[in-house]
Every structure is written in structure tokens, then in C-alpha cells.
Structure 1
């Protein structure tokens, strides 16, 4: 009878613990996460507003920047609201369907962060073949790139949802995390989850391939930048590429760390893993508007018009 009471395919709810081991610091962590979320909202909404209201910015680079801003807003919102509910109101229960939904949006929006690959392509064309920029990045091609950015992660995440949906869960489903993730949820199942682990590694492989493509793109950009006749143009190109590459290095390092520690990082404290996993989701959406947006001269000038500097009296 006890087995019958606990054996079911889909649990009614999961219990999210937040960050086990750091319960005493939950309120301070929540203030940090809330601040990051507010900055993310302000930064990305400002980018979207500026591009929408200024016809001169209706160009390929800024269309891609808008796609990235929408992705940043979606990723942050899918994560932070649930986390703050845990930290502030002790809302720890989440339904099985709600957990799958959050998992889908988090993994999908994380995959869509690869919009930075399109940004790298845009910079490559602008520097390496500026005379054909408008031809290569015509509106139809930008629309196709945007469609790939949106559809590719969804296609890759659906099998993950199917694998979790097929798992039986045979005990109290307590998830030692602040939100639902694929392998963290799968490990609660009372069944063989090798298929889940192998698919997770497959996604890591694709992630590494994308990273190599981005790296090679920026190598070509840097090669072209060093051939520019003007010193100021070289410095501008190097500055832009350097900040972009630093951002991608941080993002991909945290993503790979999060993925691999689920499988191989048993010796890493759980609280450290959860904090790193949270930061790899929260930090890029906050920094992207600055790295890719405000550093662009056109956006920077319009931001200064909205928030003019205080002048000394």
C-alpha cells in the first residue's frame, strides 16, 4: 500500500528549496537578484523603446539587438519571479506542468542567447565587407536569421521536455534548486535517466560548436580590424570585439560549468552550483544592453538624450 501511495508517473507538485545551505542569506540574495532584474528591465526596455521610436535605427544590427533584448527579458522573467516568490513569500510549491513550462522557457531562452552569434556575423560583415553590408544583411535575411534564433532552441528543447514527461517519480519531489532545470528534475525520477544525460551532453556539444563558430568569426573580425588604415578605426573595432568576446567568455563558461556539474560535479557544493547556475541566467540579460547596445554610438547618443548628464552649475 505504501508503494501504491508513492508511485505515480507525474507528481502533483515539486518543492523548490531555493539555495540549500544559504537559507540565512536568502533575503540578501533576493535583494541582489531583484536589483539585477530591475536593471535588466530598464536596460532592455530602453533599447527596445529607442529602436522602435527612431526610424534611423531600423537597420540590421539594431533589429538583432531588439531580438536579443526580447530574449533577455523573457529569460530573466521566467527565472526571477519564481525565485523571488521562494525567497520573499516562501512559495516553494510548483506544479508538474508549471515546472515543465518554466524548464521549457529557461532552456529555450538560454538557447536564444545565441543571438550573439548573429551579432558577431553582423560585425564581421560590417568590418570585412562594408560595401556589401546592406546587400548581405537585407531584411529578408535578417528575418530568416531571427527565425532561426527563435526556432532552433525550441526544436532542441522539445525532446528534453518529452524525456522528462515520460519519467516516473516515486518519492517526494523536492528539488534542491531555485527553479526547474532539466537534469536537476530528471534526477528525482525512479528510473534510468541515461537518455536524459546523453541528450544533455549532446546539447553541450552543440553549445561548444556554436562557441567555436563565434570565436572563429571574431578571429576574422580582428584580422580585418588590424588591416584597417585608420588607427582610430582599429581601436574602435578592437574595443567592440574585446567587450563582446569578454561577455561571451563569461556567459559560455558559466553555462558549461552549470551543465557539466550536473553530471560530473558531485564534489562541488550544491550552493555554489546553484549560485553559478543562477548568475549564468541573470547576468547576461543585465549586461547585454550595455555591451551590445549602449556601446553602439547611435544608441549611446540617444540614451544621453533621455538621461542627460548633470552639468556643473
Structure 2
């Protein structure tokens, strides 16, 4: 698909780019602002409510709910790094500098890697809760949290930063139009004079983000399920399967959509830009929108506290009347 402004003979490096998301619906792009605004509002409100309940309720100050809070916080971070700029772009305010583009890439990729780390820790947390119940608190609090912080720093240093440095050093002489609603790294690198090496770097980073944690996550949940089915019964088995099932829903949402995105952005792929944009929207916005509902409606601790707090507010007028009588 040919885009306006494409110039293969440019002898200089572009320092400003145009985010041209959903190029197939150029005339009706402003109409997309309403549904995306509503989705972003749901993401902010839904995640914030569940996070607030976890903060206010002391009984939820446990490792598992701390990880849930962290997961929802990453949802807010990367959607905020993408959505406001996307909404402005739908109305024609779609210019972004190279520095702004690289900051967006760093924020989004760091958040995604943090999300992957949190999902991994949730799997390990459930494994330890089942296999080491007597020493669970000591192991998780003293070791798991510290190791996860070191893990996150190392990942950002060795994976995300080299990608940003590659983008900063690359010379962009092909075009300044990115046919996407955010600075997608593979699309940005495809505009460089030496696109092949940069795209390989982007592909390596995407592969590491998507697949380095999957084996440990699957092994952890398989061991948990095996132990639960072998030793637990009745309500204990139901609660364990309920919790693991909730976590697995999130894992499937994150990694299945991420795998699809990785395939679509392979070098030489002829998939239309609109399809790539739609799949990216599902990947970045859909899971962030449904996560608070998954945890709010399926996790008993959060669901009970939501009912309790909402019930108290509804009962206040009745209590006042009874006191007067």
C-alpha cells in the first residue's frame, strides 16, 4: 500500500514522524475517537476501582493481590502511553518527534515486559502456595519480590534499552509516515536506511518478550493443577482451580494476542495496515479493559470487598432512619 509522502531518495534523516493509524478509513477516522475514548475510560475506571479496593482493604495486602495490583498498574501505564496520542491523531494532530517516538517505545515495551514478569510471578506464587504452604509467606516476601525487582531491571537494561539505542542511531531516509496509531518499533525501523539490521533487533526483542516466560508459566500451572487434583477435594479443590483458571485466562489473552502481533509484523509480511492496527488495538486495549472485570468478578477477595463497600453506602440512609426511631 502506497502512503503519501513516501520518498526513497531522501538524503537526510527524518526527526519528526506522522502517525497515520487506520489508513484505510482516512475520511472517517474522527468517528473512531468515540469508541476508543469509551474504551480508555473503561480501562482507567475499571483498573482504578480494583486497585483502590486492594489498597484500602488490609485483608488484601497479600503477595497475590499485590501482583494483581501491579498487573493492573502496568495496564494503565501502557494504555496511557498510547491512547491519548492515538485520539489526537484521529483528529489530525498526529505529528511526533523521534525522541517522543523512542520514549513511547521504551514505555510501552517496558510495561509489556513488566506485565510478562508479573504474570510469571503469579504462576510461581500459586506454585509456592500449593507446594510450600507452611513457608509460603517467608519465601515469597523475602525472596520472590527481591528477585523480581532484579529481574525487571536486568530485562529493561539488556532488552529494551538496546532497542531504543538502535532506534536513536538509525538514519531515517525512506519516509516519515508510520501507518500505525502508535510508534510501533518494527514499522519505525522499516523507515530506516539500514532497515534489515534494525528489524532483526526488533524481532529479537519481540521474541524474547513473548516466549522467554511461557515455559516456566506453563510448568508452574501444570504442577499446581497436578497437585490440586491429587491432594485437594471439595471446596479446596474448587477454590484452587478457580484461582488458577482466572490466571490462565489472563495468560491466554496476553500471549495469544501477542503471538498474533508478532506474526503480523514479521519482515516481508503483506498483511494490510488496517488489520495490523486492529490486532494491535485488541492486544493493547482489550486485555487492559477486561482484566479488572476478570479479577473484580472472579476473585472472591475483591468481589466480596466490592459488595461490602457498595452495600455499606447503600445502607447508610436506612441506618440513619433506624437511629432516629
In the superposition, the TM-score normalised over structure 1's length comes to 0.88
**Residue 265 and residue 237 in structure 1: after superposition, are their counterparts in 2 closer, same or farther (change >3 A)?**
farther
Tell me what 2:126 maps to.
Answer: 123
Measured after TM superposition, the shift of residue 288 of structure 1 is 2.1
2:225–2:241 CA contact under 8 A, matched in 1: yes
Distance 1:23 1:305 in 2: 48
**2:24 matched to 1:7?**
no
Distance 1:24 1:307 in 2: 45
Pick from 86, 97, 100 the counterpart of residue 98 of structure 1.
Answer: 100
Tell me what 1:70 maps to.
Answer: 73
How large is the RMSD of aligned CA atoms in angstroms?
A: 2.5
Measured after TM superposition, the shift of residue 95 of structure 1 is 1.0
Q: Helix, strand or coil: the match of 2:96?
A: strand
Measured after TM superposition, the shift of residue 178 of structure 1 is 0.4
Tell me what 2:318 maps to.
Answer: none
Measured after TM superposition, the shift of residue 244 of structure 1 is 2.0
Aligned residue pairs total 306
Distance 1:294 1:120 in 2: 20
Pick from 280, 283, 286 the counterpart of residue 283 of structure 1.
Answer: 286
Tell me what 1:184 maps to.
Answer: 187
Q: Helix, strand or coil: the match of 1:131?
A: coil
Distance 2:270 2:206 in 1: 23
Distance 1:22 1:234 in 2: 50
* Bigger mean CA deviation after superposition, 261-270 or 181-190: 261-270
**Residue 62 and residue 146 in structure 1: after superposition, are their counterparts in 2 closer, same or farther (change >3 A)?**
farther
Measured after TM superposition, the shift of residue 211 of structure 1 is 1.2
Distance 1:154 1:272 in 2: 32
* Bigger mean CA deviation after superposition, 272-281 or 286-295: 286-295
Tell me what 1:247 maps to.
Answer: 250
Distance 2:108 2:198 in 1: 20
Within 5 Å, give how 1:209-248 maps onto structure 2. Answer: 209-248=212-251
Measured after TM superposition, the shift of residue 152 of structure 1 is 1.9
Q: Over alpha carbons, which structure has the higher Rg?
A: 2
Measured after TM superposition, the shift of residue 140 of structure 1 is 5.4
Q: Structure 2 stretches of 5 or more lacking a match?
A: 1-6, 316-325
Distance 1:242 1:217 in 2: 13
Distance 2:142 2:65 in 1: 12
**2:82 matched to 1:79?**
yes
* Bigger mean CA deviation after superposition, 37-46 or 132-141: 132-141
Distance 2:60 2:205 in 1: 38
Distance 2:274 2:246 in 1: 29
**2:200 matched to 1:200?**
no
